Chain A
Amino acid sequence: MKLKPEDIRLIREKYASVSAIRSGEGTRGKNIDLLVCAGTGCVSNHSLKVKAALIAEIEKHKLQDRIKVVTTGCNGFCANGPIVVVKPEDIFYQLLKPEDIPHLVEEHFLEGRPVERLMYRPGEGKPIPKMASIPFFGKQQLIALSNRGTVDPEKIEEYIALGGYQALAKALTEMSAEQVIEEIKASGLRGRGGAGFPTGKKWEFCRNARVVEDGDSAFAKYIICNADEGDPGAFMDRSIVESDPHALLEGMLIGAYAIGATHGFIYIRAEYPLALERLTQALEQAREYGLLGERILGSDFSFDITVSKGAGAFVCGEETSLIGSLEGKLPEPRVRPPYPAQYGYMGKPTNINNVETWANVPHIIIRGAEWFSAIGTDTSKGTKVFSLVGKVNNTGLVEVPMGITMREIVFDIGGGIPGGKRFKAVQTGGPSGGCIPESLLDTPVDYESLVQAGSIMGSGGMIVMDEDNCMVEVARYFISFTQQESCGKCTPCREGTWHMLNILEDITAGRGREGDIELLEKMGRQIKETALCGLGNTAPNPVLTTIRYFRDEYEAHIRDGRCPARVCKALITYSIDPVNCTGCTACAKNCPVACISGERKQTHVIDQDRCIKCGMCYSVCNFDAVRVE
């Protein structure tokens, strides 16, 4: 069935109960939706078994007419999965196992007593029944992720019921292409892939680009969605595609209409099988409804999308490398100018945005530029999705208004550092970003402030580190990543990052020399200045920021041969404190190289020559007798 604009409204009306229940307004009836999270995190913790148990139990009690089990995409609270949310009540159950389900169904749905034991509980506090009252969700503001956890990503009707494809209908029937671009420009939306280029301006460049006729290609202009999310610890784009694939498609459709593109590509990592599956399904459904293909919604606008799988090269996140890869060439960045807006895929004007940027577009068209630009700071509008990982209690995916402070993200939403440890730094922007220390925790999160602090917004990875992290080792880890992922085209990135890695390896191995800090600083600055693409231009950032904020740790390694965080193996020794040692033999039994000697009930001793510093003795000792220095 090919839809007309009015059909969008009719589908919405037909499925009105869906939006009523999910939004929490539908308390009139007795119908309940159980939203089972089926994001990658919850699925790997067996949420699909939980779902099967729910269905079986509901059928057992013959409740299936009243209670519907729905699978949704990622809720973001991945640390506490599997998650089930009861709508319209908004009761949040977490860490569910299939064996919890019979009790849960009986108590909650037959007896009307929600089960406290399965609810979220902050530290020692009381359980919090409602999802919206949990601090992790409370400070978030959802735009790109507005349907997360409430829409079944495999049903286009649900997306439409919750307001989807309305923006497309509005753009095609009420707005000219220029008006769409003006709206996006006025909204202040900037690229969410990291560089923060104004999206509306980018679209305008591409729209105004002259097409050079060469007869080679049927298509004049292209748009691309960059879903090649390669930062370690980042999963924003995966989550959007998994939980709300139609939001991405709708954003791309509006962009294609505004730019005048007839074909689009989604370049997505092959390592995201679930996202790929849902995306492919969404494309098929959109085609069935005539939302992709010829004469969309009865207009003159025709557009379709091809999905292309990446092969795991980090550099393909760089837009010109991505275009090369799409063309079947080596993924190598090209020198800009010319920009893709003039000379992109197959030499045609091409516009690339990342998943999150596209997903913001329908909301701006429906709710207006003014609404969007009221959120955020002077120069950074709207919200940003971050994946909050590392040494933080509530790991997961969060969407927050621009301008929120790092402290609010780490301590209010993230719930602080586990085990009462002390916060040390947060790495933003992935391996191309930098470490922000405690003294800058009140920095507002926006494009400019992060650059000023020596980091970047990046695509939104946020790795929290505590006192147990050695900042020299952190810098070594990130540069080893970029060094490995450097494509090797330009000299500074290929050779320079390798040299920086060698110097850092020397320092962490206790072979650092006086002057190495200045050497790293100068080399890092020169690589940033001379490298060809964004990968090389940012690769030294983790090193430069850790030197800027944690210089004393570098000095301790080099001058005193000491690793203050007791991480770098070459610089630490394990020994047994004779006062605390009870001679329980646990350490000796567990030592993999059998270098600990001592009789039962006698003080044990580590043979330093044979010790491999694995830390096993330290972790098995129950009497705090193993010392690390």
Chain B
Amino acid sequence: MATMTIDGKNLEFEEKLTILEAAKRLQIKIPTLCYNEHLAPYGGCRICLVEAASRSAPNRSRLVPACTAPAEDGMVVTTGSQRVLESRRFVIELLLSRCPESQVILELAREMGVEPDGQNLDVVGHYLLHRAPRREVTNCILCGLCVRVCQQIPERYALSFKDRGITRKVTPPFERVAESCIGCGSCAYVCPTKTITIEEAD
């Protein structure tokens, strides 16, 4: 039997768990965007970062994504430290700067205390939400859930990432409707920002 602590609460566990799964058992909420319990964890969006210290180095805590980091015996996790909250704020501000029209992102930002028009923005938040150049309007946060669900559940590979870095986007192969698409709608279902819509074909 292994034990760990999250925000001062103890959890005993035996099987393989991620920190996110462990927190769920203790009814501690950690925000997620690119996570879906039916898919392999990804660790890309960085909104679920928590501070974790292992038994061997209790004074050296690291920021890790709760969705992928395995829970370890003797681990001490903090989900609400200043370091964690600042990091999450930075991530949500980056996403809000990318997707200013997404209500889902805006709401999540507000939950984290980020008010786009409020007075409490720091130098980075102010830049990202008021000064930074805007790109083409999108609600897609590139969490990759649609791509992964299509690969892992119906195994159709009808969606993929194209390009890299800031120009990355999700598209079917050759930017045409994929022949392998069965119209199952999984991609639209898992999309956290409801960017994907399903159209009836003739």
Point out residues on A near B: beta carbons under 8 Å: 313, 315, 330, 334-335, 337-338, 483-492, 494-499, 502-503, 515, 518-519, 522-523, 526, 529-532
Contact = CB atoms under 8 A, between A and B. Distances in A.
Contacts of B98: 495
B90 A515 contact: no
Interface in B123-165: 123-124, 127-128, 132-133, 141-142, 144, 160-161, 163-165
Nearest to A484: B165
Contacts of B47: 491
A495 B47 CA distance: 14
A29 to B, nearest CB: 58
A515 B123 CA distance: 8
A522 B163 CA distance: 28
Nearest to A329: B151
Contacts of B46: 490-492, 530-532
Given A492-B46, A495-B95, A496-B94, A483 B166 contact: yes
Nearest to B89: A526
Given A515-B123, A532-B65, 17 more contacts: A335-B41, A335-B68, A337-B70, A484-B165, A485-B165, A488-B142, A488-B167, A490-B43, A491-B94, A491-B95, A491-B141, A494-B166, A495-B94, A499-B94, A519-B124, A522-B124, A529-B63
B132 A492 contact: no
B100 interface: no
A335 B43 contact: yes
B133 A502 contact: yes
A488 B161 contact: yes
Contacts of A313: 164
B109 to A, nearest CB: 13
Given A492-B94, A530-B49, A532-B44, A518 B123 contact: yes
B12 interface: no
B70 A338 contact: yes
Given A335-B69, A485-B164, A502-B133, A491 B44 contact: yes
Given A335-B68, A530-B46, A532-B46, A488 B94 contact: no
B100 to A, nearest CB: 13
Contacts of B91: 491-492, 530
Nearest to B49: A530
Given A502-B133, A526-B86, A530-B91, A495 B161 contact: no
Given A335-B65, A486-B165, A529-B87, A494 B142 contact: yes
Contacts of A494: 142, 165-166, 168
A7 B146 CA distance: 59
Among all A-B residue pairs, the 5 with the closest Cβ atoms:
A488-B168, A335-B43, A486-B165, A335-B68, A495-B94
A492 B144 CA distance: 15
Contact of A502 (B42, B70, B132, B144): B132
A531 B49 CA distance: 10
20 contacts: A313-B164, A334-B43, A335-B43, A337-B69, A485-B164, A488-B142, A488-B163, A488-B164, A489-B142, A490-B43, A491-B95, A491-B142, A494-B165, A496-B94, A499-B127, A502-B133, A515-B123, A519-B127, A523-B127, A530-B87
Contacts of A515: 123
Contact of B166 (A498, A522, A526): A498
A477 to B, nearest CB: 16
Nearest to A331: B164
Interface string B104-125: 0000000000000000001110
Nearest to B167: A488
B161 to A, nearest CB: 6
Contacts of B77: none
B152 to A, nearest CB: 13
A111 B144 CA distance: 74
B45 interface: yes
Interface residues of B, number: 41
A494 B63 CA distance: 18
A487 B41 CA distance: 18
Contacts of B5: none
A487 B70 contact: no
B180 to A, nearest CB: 17
A483 B127 CA distance: 18
A522 B122 contact: yes
A97 B90 CA distance: 59
Contacts of B167: 488
B166 to A, nearest CB: 4
Nearest to B90: A526
Interface in B80-95: 83, 86-87, 90-91, 94-95
Contact of B90 (A334, A503, A519, A530): A530
A519 B97 CA distance: 16
Interface in B22-48: 41-47
B108 to A, nearest CB: 13
Most chain A beta-carbon neighbours within 10 Å: one of B44, B49, B63, B144: B44
Nearest to B143: A491
Most chain A beta-carbon neighbours within 10 Å: one of B47, B124, B168: B124
Nearest to B131: A513
Contacts of A489: 42, 44, 142, 144
Most chain B beta-carbon neighbours within 10 Å: one of A330, A338, A497: A330
A338 B47 CA distance: 20
B45 A490 contact: yes
B139 to A, nearest CB: 15
Most chain A beta-carbon neighbours within 10 Å: one of B91, B133, B142, B164: B164
B157 to A, nearest CB: 11
A532 B87 CA distance: 13
Given A330-B161, A494-B142, A523-B124, A486 B166 contact: yes
A529 B97 CA distance: 19
A515 B125 CA distance: 13
A483 B124 contact: no
Given A338-B70, A491-B45, A502-B132, A526 B165 contact: no
Contacts of A497: 165
A487 B98 CA distance: 17
A530 B63 CA distance: 7
Contacts of A529: 63, 83, 87
A485 B124 CA distance: 23
Interface string B55-83: 00000000111001110000000000001
Most chain A beta-carbon neighbours within 10 Å: one of B87, B128, B165: B165
A558 to B, nearest CB: 14
A315 B127 CA distance: 28
A498 B69 CA distance: 27
Nearest to A531: B46
B95 to A, nearest CB: 6
Nearest to B65: A335
Contacts of A495: 94-95, 97-98, 166
Given A337-B69, A498-B166, A492 B44 contact: no
A483 B69 contact: no
Nearest to B47: A491
